[in-house]
Structure 1
Amino acid sequence: MLNQLQYSILFIFSLFVTTTTFAQNTTTITGKIVETNNGGPIEFATVLVGDPANQKPIVGTTTLQDGGFTLETTASEFYIEVSFIGFTTKRFDNPTIVDGKINLGTVTIAEDSQQLDEVVVEGEISQTVFKLDKRVFNVGADLSSTGASALEVLNNVPSVNVNIEGAVSLRGSQGVQMLINGKPSVIANEQGNALGTLTADMIERIEVITNPSAKYDAEGTSGIINIVLKKEEKKGLNGAVTLNTGVPNNHSLGLSLNRRTEKFNLFSQLGFGRRTFPSDEETENRNLEDGTYISSFGENDKNETFFNLILGTDYHINELNVITLSGNFAYEWEKENADAIFSTFDASNTLTDVFRRQELTEATNPKYSYELQYKKDFEGNEEQSLLLSATGNLFAKDQTSDFNNTTTIGTDDDTLQKSRTDFTQAEYTFKADYTHPWSEQFTLETGAQYQINDVENDFAISNFDGTNFIEDPNLTNVFEWTQKVLGIYGTTAYEGDKWGIKVGLRFEDTDVATLLQTTNVSNDKNYNNLFPSGHTSYKINDDLSLQAGYSKRIFRPRLWDLNPFFNIRNNFSISTGNADLQPEFTDSFEVTSIYKLGKASMNLGVFYRHTEDVVEDIVEFEDNVSISRPENVGISNTTGIEFNAKYIPANWISFTNDFNFSHFAREGDFEGSLFNFEGNQWSTRLTSKIKLPADIDLEFIGNYQSSYRTLLQEISENLFMDFGARKKILKGKAIVNLSIRDVFASRISESITDQPTYYLRDYSKRGRFVTLGISFGFGKGEAMEFSGQKRF
């Protein structure tokens, strides 16, 4: 098995070191580990030789199928420790050495009743524990002794998948909020690659939350993954260098450094590069009443040069108190070219007009973020904690666009247009969370959060009159958006041997203000809401457990849902915001199960969601121009299933499947028109991972997304495949990656609006992306196992 191979490599390496150390005596340790109850051998039990001075391991191994082991050390003073998941740990201090040998004989270890009180389902490598509102994946010695990266550990968690590029998905969706020790962190920010520098021996457990309780923001997400780090982290200098190149342009260089001492953990990351994102675009606007229509065919490419810097430190005041301060600065230079041909046809399908529209857009985007956090643990109870944090994110965009219309058929004059955007956005979040266990079964959580969003967008469109560019007053304004949300929550939980329950309540007060400065049009809103939650779990047997949950969620309109400005790249297909938009509210019910059957682990979930004030796009069509804006149109009821399975038939191959199906029914009206309809939507993803000789890993990911309809549109189906290959060299210190996204260039984005009086079609395709990367880890660092390609 793979674990035997890994520990054999560790043993060979340890043997090499000890046999080449001059003038040191070697002690050989042997024995056999068995269960106390039935005397059966325990395979993969961990045997460690440790230094009694600092309680740190010196060398280790795992037991074979018959429970036996052999271990060698050159240390003169040491202790021996035997452990296995779910069993008590046995330690031998100052063992007697006879003629350079120690024979422990048959060592019996008993089951740990405290651990067995938890609802446990064994995974193929470590173990998964069912808690009330989450699943907890405990990282055992089998992973933490191998030097695996955090991304490899995540890939062993049921329902979680990490592709070779490092994109993390939960039950097939990549809209996942990543936390480190229960809080947002620049380490887990998908805009950086720092997560890849965490190694398995730094991680204590990974918590997966699919239906968040009242403790978390009421804003909806696809789920939460929380990585809890051990207090005993690697000391010394850890680091990695990554170099990527690709077609189309995807060239980058990154450096990550991590320095740990007894009191400080200093981490940094530096990266810069250049990327290109080309795409093909098609649109069609057809007037079904008079038979005229306009079509466009074009292509554009977005070129981005970027620089990114992360700096941070953890200061351990003592064993119970730690302060974290970190910051991230990024700067992007954008240059985008678009070139499209617009053709007009009359009712007899005769071409009447043609013009070419060329665009050059340039922008600079500075980004800043910081976090200051304080965490206090309490002596005598590791579950009791106080967390205070303040985070800030600032983003700005200074953008200009030049448009040139050149008539090739027809009598229209050539025209020039300009647009400019001066945009700033600031987001600040202040949090306090307190957890207090009253006993082994009862726990209380409480806390508060205050979040501020402040945005200003100075936007203008100018037309050339033959001499000068004149701003269009109808399309020029300054838009301000401010949102302040105060949240207060409390939860209480009971966990017994087989059954548990957790209930909570969150209160949020929201203030929203919008203002169009030039025309002095304002729209202020204030609303406050209660968000209850409830979760329960029940252990049927050792291989099957059930979990049920309810939570109330909210979707608040964001800036681009409210902003009335629009991009004039295509003057015939316009999307704009709606400052009067109201929030959506969703009641979410979910029942999930986790089941282990031999070499397969399966998760099945059934959900129901009821949403009020559903936001849908409404289209106005006139003179072959479509204007789309979001509106609140009614209610939606969605019922669905989510299935995830991971099957490992052999240690060199594994399969993971994510399947999602939902049926939705919409009821509503807008301006006297009824909008009642039903529909289905489903998607599936099959991931195959193959381990070849010479440390080569292959990954094939097949994706299918069915067609589905919205209020007015039909979204086309998608079938595409991604491929990845990885080769470890220099004993895993260096990794070479090959990534091919959309292997057959079949992934598209297409929407069709077919109404009695008009027909619209929007189509785009980005094509194939190929990236080759190499990463090298130094010190105690591990190579980062992904290409660093930008997320889409």
Structure 2
Amino acid sequence: MKLRLKNTLSLYILLFISSYTIAQDNLIKITGTLIEDTTSQPIPYATVVINDTSSHKIIAGTTSDESGKFSMATSKTNFYIEISFMGFETKTIKEFKTINGKIDLGKIILITDSQSLDEVVVTGEISKTTFKLDKRVFNVGADISSTGASALEVLNNVPSVNVSMEGEISLRGSSGVQILINGKPSVLADESSNALGTITADMIESIEIITNPSAKYEASGTAGILNIILKKEEKKGWNGSVSVNTGTPDNHSIGLSLNRRTENFNLFAQLGAGYRSLPKDAEAINRNLTNNEVIFSEGTEYRNETFYNITLGTDYHINDLNVLTLSGNFAYEIEKQPSKTNFNYFDANNSLISSWERNEITDATNPKYSYELNYKKQFKDHEDHTLLLSVLGRFFGKDLSSHFTNTTIAGADSDSDQKTATDFIQADYTYKVDYTNPISDTYTLETGAQYVINDVGNDYEVSELTNNGYEVNNDLTNNFEYNQKVFGAYATGAFEKEKWGIKVGVRVEQTNLKTLLTNTNESNEQNFTNFFPTLHTSYKVGENFSLQAGYSKRIFRPRLWDLNPFFNIRNNFNIRVGNPNLQPEFTDSYELTSIYKIGKATLSSSLYHKFTTDMVERVFTYVNNVTITTPQNIGTNSAIGFETNGKYRASNWLTITGDFNLNYFDRVGTFETQVFDFSGNQWSSRLGSKIGLPADIDVELTGNYQSGFKTVQGTTTGYAFLDLGVRKKIFKGKAIVNLGVRDLFASRISEQFVTQATFETYSFGQRGRFITLGISYGFGKGEAMTYSGGRRR
């Protein structure tokens, strides 16, 4: 296989990188050391704030270091000092002496709170959410920042966001959320590890929630974006967590996460290894309505995997205005897929024609690595005046071989022994620049560009057993090459006052896509340029009610497996084939959102309309009792929906969350001679509760329901399932024991019916119940978090 991997040498010439200091002779420096009353030991990581005497608002703040010492400064003269830490009584200091611009408080003794070690004293503002045109901003107040919680627990306090005990993040009930740190990708934001556990609540300034992205972001987006904004005065020292996990079906792993902050560097590392399996029960029925022949198949598919993972990275703070980030990840996976499927072939009289068992032995190795270089510059005139440059590279390889053998149980042979060999290589490169300039208190301009290269090769060979041994089947063998380049540029302008604002933008993306099937020399090339306008506005009606409206145009580009015309021979009677002529689909998205508070409840509701053209649908055809599934562009889809989600804190020990989404859709389209015009509806809901029990035990119950819905050729059935999690904190939260049960009643299924004039098909899939048990320990300022071992692909 010949694969052209294009790598571009990127050289950024960084101009105007300089540091500056401003002499401020009127600053008063405040120092002291915090000591426990019972043990006389130092108290690290306690919160120390300076409050204005008149307004009681926070002027400045810091935290004590590992030795209990703290230092901060202020130019104010009318203030008092407040010190708080979980498990201790809050101490207020109003009397002190200033000598030569310094206040030395000496040793300060904090008294243990005998009433409740778990009580959190709120010393500042309460966390709240506000609208900012194209996003919502969750400002982290002292009620959370003083608790010592991790970033994941902070995210779990954000409206519309839910974090399971296993660390899976969802937005409005949908996974696939992109996590950013200070507006840029980061290894610390990798959801596949526990790196977010090394960021504590008091390091976070705010979290931005973006559900309908502006032109600044790629037109082919995700379920949403969460941007974690860190405070400039990040804690220094070691953070870390180590965890050991086991489960059934096999899910065993060990992970270590480290993070070290100094004055100029932030070093982070992630190490992990493990073994897991993912069995799936599958069943299929192919019914030929012309001759009434039927083929049944059922079996269990396995994907057993041993994996190793290492991540290294650093943030280098050149000075207060310039940060350079370099990170890399390497993973290696070893796969085994011992699967077995039973087939039964019946004639029109329901008499057995043939019965056989098909066994699969598959071995694969998957090396993959990624690297990222980011440079961020802040300008002196405004903290939001920034320039961000980034380079990202990813590589994934798969060397796979399979051996399929068939054993006849009854009747005639109906299948053949086969071997396959796959050599797959994928390389992705992203080059990006973003510039933001708040030219005044009310006007902000943004502009930037991005260039993405996706280069893929899939060399696939099929051999079949003959009298002379195994011979290559050229009809099934192919070498497919896929190369896509997307260049995008954008500009946005925003006008924002205290209660009202508007933001307009446009993004242009030029796509060049080439595919080649080398054994037949079939090629396909697509070149197209598209404009993606966006419009957002928000209005603050009152303190507890705000409105936001938005419009964006989005694109779905066909992926490799949508385009590759290969045959998957795991089941020769149910195969999937790609379509190299598949076109992208485009969606116009309109959304009106409100966020409001009613007592202890926070609710967010949306009305939306999405209109999609060239809708990509899976179309089923039937040839010689074989079901062939192929993606096709079929007409339009118009969807109108309502979505609401909320979070209710009934008490300190009970929190209830819920999501509900209902949409009505109208399909219009024709494929070949068949008309696909129909209407339907689909709805989903989720209800979760987090219950705090005595002895630092938390219980989480989450129920989900997905309704059935119509498809272009049949129906998909609905299902309900329940997840259970139990967590026990020990050693004052530094160690955590987790017990998780996914799909408690083994009721989550995938079931689809296809009904056409000449054939009917039925498919069923089920993963079953998963049980996991883990223990993790956090040290330094990190909190114990579960290591998941990474996402599969």
TM-score band, normalised by shorter chain: 0.7 to 0.9
- Once residues 704 and 542 of structure 2 are traced to their aligned partners in structure 1, the CA distance between those partners, rounded to angstroms, is 34
SS of the equivalent of 1:475 reads: coil
Please list, as runs of the form range in 1=range in 2, the aligned pairs for 1:138-157 lying within 5 A after superposition: 138-157=139-158
The match for 2:359 is: 358
The ranges of structure 1 where at least 4 consecutive aligned residues each deviate by more than 6 angstroms after the TM superposition are: 29-35, 42-52, 56-59, 75-79
The match for 2:325 is: 324
The match for 1:438 is: 439
Q: 1:345 to 1:386 in 2, by over 3 A?
A: same
Amino acid at match of 1:288: L
Contact 2:309–2:329 (8 Å) recurs in 1: yes
The match for 1:379 is: 380
Deviations 1:551-605 (CA, angstroms, capped at 9, x unpaired): 0000000101001113211100111110000000110000000000101000000
Q: 1:367 to 1:221 in 2, by over 3 A?
A: same
Query: In the TM superposition, what is the alpha-carbon distance from 1:791 to its structure 2 partner?
Result: 7.4
The match for 2:190 is: 189
Deviates more, 1:544-553 or 1:618-627: 618-627
The match for 1:341 is: 342
The match for 2:695 is: 694
- Once residues 486 and 769 of structure 1 are traced to their aligned partners in structure 2, the CA distance between those partners, rounded to angstroms, is 42
The match for 2:15 is: none
Q: 1:759 to 1:78 in 2, by over 3 A?
A: farther
Deviates more, 1:707-716 or 1:499-508: 707-716
- Once residues 752 and 432 of structure 1 are traced to their aligned partners in structure 2, the CA distance between those partners, rounded to angstroms, is 47
- Once residues 765 and 63 of structure 1 are traced to their aligned partners in structure 2, the CA distance between those partners, rounded to angstroms, is 45
Q: Does 1:71 align with 2:56?
A: no
- Once residues 41 and 735 of structure 2 are traced to their aligned partners in structure 1, the CA distance between those partners, rounded to angstroms, is 30
- Once residues 124 and 663 of structure 1 are traced to their aligned partners in structure 2, the CA distance between those partners, rounded to angstroms, is 42
Q: 1:125 to 1:76 in 2, by over 3 A?
A: closer
- Once residues 222 and 49 of structure 2 are traced to their aligned partners in structure 1, the CA distance between those partners, rounded to angstroms, is 52
Amino acid at match of 1:309: I
Amino acid at match of 1:609: K
The match for 1:61 is: 84
The match for 1:618 is: 619
| Alignment gaps of 5+ in structure 2 | 1-32, 75-79, 111-123
The match for 1:116 is: none
- Once residues 427 and 697 of structure 1 are traced to their aligned partners in structure 2, the CA distance between those partners, rounded to angstroms, is 42
- Once residues 54 and 355 of structure 1 are traced to their aligned partners in structure 2, the CA distance between those partners, rounded to angstroms, is 77
- Once residues 168 and 63 of structure 1 are traced to their aligned partners in structure 2, the CA distance between those partners, rounded to angstroms, is 27
Deviations 1:717-769 (CA, angstroms, capped at 9, x unpaired): 01000000111111111111111000001111111101121110110111110
Please list, as runs of the form range in 1=range in 2, the aligned pairs for 1:339-738 lying within 5 A after superposition: 339-412=340-413, 415-738=416-739
SS of the equivalent of 1:365 reads: strand
- Once residues 260 and 758 of structure 1 are traced to their aligned partners in structure 2, the CA distance between those partners, rounded to angstroms, is 64
Query: In the TM superposition, what is the alpha-carbon distance from 1:59 to its structure 2 partner?
Result: 7.5
Q: 1:655 to 1:779 in 2, by over 3 A?
A: same
- Once residues 784 and 714 of structure 1 are traced to their aligned partners in structure 2, the CA distance between those partners, rounded to angstroms, is 41
Deviates more, 1:413-422 or 1:243-252: 413-422
Deviates more, 1:580-589 or 1:617-626: 617-626
- Once residues 124 and 622 of structure 1 are traced to their aligned partners in structure 2, the CA distance between those partners, rounded to angstroms, is 67
Q: 1:96 to 1:524 in 2, by over 3 A?
A: closer
Q: 1:22 to 1:520 in 2, by over 3 A?
A: closer
- Once residues 517 and 173 of structure 1 are traced to their aligned partners in structure 2, the CA distance between those partners, rounded to angstroms, is 39
Contact 1:46–1:61 (8 Å) recurs in 2: no
SS of the equivalent of 1:637 reads: strand
Amino acid at match of 1:250: N
Amino acid at match of 2:444: T
- Once residues 544 and 414 of structure 2 are traced to their aligned partners in structure 1, the CA distance between those partners, rounded to angstroms, is 74
Quote the RMSD (CA, aligned, Å).
3.1
Contact 2:484–2:513 (8 Å) recurs in 1: yes
Contact 1:406–1:415 (8 Å) recurs in 2: no
Query: In the TM superposition, what is the alpha-carbon distance from 1:780 to its structure 2 partner?
Result: 2.5
Q: 7, 13, 36: which is aligned to 1:17?
A: 36
Query: In the TM superposition, what is the alpha-carbon distance from 1:297 to its structure 2 partner?
Result: 1.3
- Once residues 58 and 275 of structure 1 are traced to their aligned partners in structure 2, the CA distance between those partners, rounded to angstroms, is 52
Please list, as runs of the form range in 1=range in 2, the aligned pairs for 1:158-307 lying within 5 A after superposition: 158-307=159-308
Contact 1:49–1:58 (8 Å) recurs in 2: no
- Once residues 336 and 519 of structure 1 are traced to their aligned partners in structure 2, the CA distance between those partners, rounded to angstroms, is 31
- Once residues 504 and 395 of structure 2 are traced to their aligned partners in structure 1, the CA distance between those partners, rounded to angstroms, is 35
- Once residues 753 and 63 of structure 1 are traced to their aligned partners in structure 2, the CA distance between those partners, rounded to angstroms, is 59
- Once residues 31 and 317 of structure 1 are traced to their aligned partners in structure 2, the CA distance between those partners, rounded to angstroms, is 29
Query: In the TM superposition, what is the alpha-carbon distance from 1:352 to its structure 2 partner?
Result: 1.6
Contact 1:30–1:71 (8 Å) recurs in 2: no
- Once residues 641 and 76 of structure 1 are traced to their aligned partners in structure 2, the CA distance between those partners, rounded to angstroms, is 58
Query: In the TM superposition, what is the alpha-carbon distance from 1:54 to its structure 2 partner?
Result: 5.0
Amino acid at match of 2:662: F
Deviations 1:206-260 (CA, angstroms, capped at 9, x unpaired): 1100100000000032111111222222212211101001111111000011111
SS of the equivalent of 1:762 reads: strand
SS of the equivalent of 1:201 reads: helix
Q: 1:346 to 1:34 in 2, by over 3 A?
A: farther
SS of the equivalent of 1:415 reads: coil
How many residue pairs align between the two structures?
732
Using the size of structure 1 for normalisation, the TM-score is: 0.88
SS of the equivalent of 1:152 reads: helix
Deviations 1:381-436 (CA, angstroms, capped at 9, x unpaired): 11110000000110000001100011111122773200111000011000000000
Deviations 1:629-649 (CA, angstroms, capped at 9, x unpaired): 001111110110110011111
- Once residues 23 and 344 of structure 1 are traced to their aligned partners in structure 2, the CA distance between those partners, rounded to angstroms, is 76
SS of the equivalent of 2:441 reads: coil
Contact 1:283–1:763 (8 Å) recurs in 2: yes
Deviates more, 1:283-292 or 1:405-414: 405-414
- Once residues 658 and 263 of structure 2 are traced to their aligned partners in structure 1, the CA distance between those partners, rounded to angstroms, is 43
SS of the equivalent of 2:303 reads: strand
Contact 2:547–2:594 (8 Å) recurs in 1: yes
SS of the equivalent of 2:607 reads: strand
- Once residues 159 and 95 of structure 1 are traced to their aligned partners in structure 2, the CA distance between those partners, rounded to angstroms, is 45
Amino acid at match of 1:229: L
- Once residues 38 and 610 of structure 2 are traced to their aligned partners in structure 1, the CA distance between those partners, rounded to angstroms, is 64
- Once residues 583 and 332 of structure 1 are traced to their aligned partners in structure 2, the CA distance between those partners, rounded to angstroms, is 32
Deviations 1:78-128 (CA, angstroms, capped at 9, x unpaired): 99xxxxxxxxxxxx974999x999xxxxxxxxxxxxxxxxxxxxx995111
Query: In the TM superposition, what is the alpha-carbon distance from 1:70 to its structure 2 partner?
Result: 5.2
Contact 2:238–2:258 (8 Å) recurs in 1: yes
Contact 1:771–1:787 (8 Å) recurs in 2: no
- Once residues 22 and 624 of structure 1 are traced to their aligned partners in structure 2, the CA distance between those partners, rounded to angstroms, is 77
Contact 1:48–1:61 (8 Å) recurs in 2: no
Contact 1:170–1:223 (8 Å) recurs in 2: yes
Q: 1:533 to 1:96 in 2, by over 3 A?
A: closer
Query: In the TM superposition, what is the alpha-carbon distance from 1:672 to its structure 2 partner?
Result: 2.8
SS of the equivalent of 2:417 reads: strand
Deviations 1:328-364 (CA, angstroms, capped at 9, x unpaired): 0000000011111100111111122101100011100
Q: 1:634 to 1:170 in 2, by over 3 A?
A: same
The match for 1:774 is: 775
Amino acid at match of 2:239: N
- Once residues 612 and 753 of structure 1 are traced to their aligned partners in structure 2, the CA distance between those partners, rounded to angstroms, is 23
Using the size of structure 2 for normalisation, the TM-score is: 0.88
- Once residues 277 and 180 of structure 1 are traced to their aligned partners in structure 2, the CA distance between those partners, rounded to angstroms, is 32
Deviates more, 1:208-217 or 1:711-720: 711-720
SS of the equivalent of 2:152 reads: helix
Query: In the TM superposition, what is the alpha-carbon distance from 1:77 to its structure 2 partner?
Result: 8.3
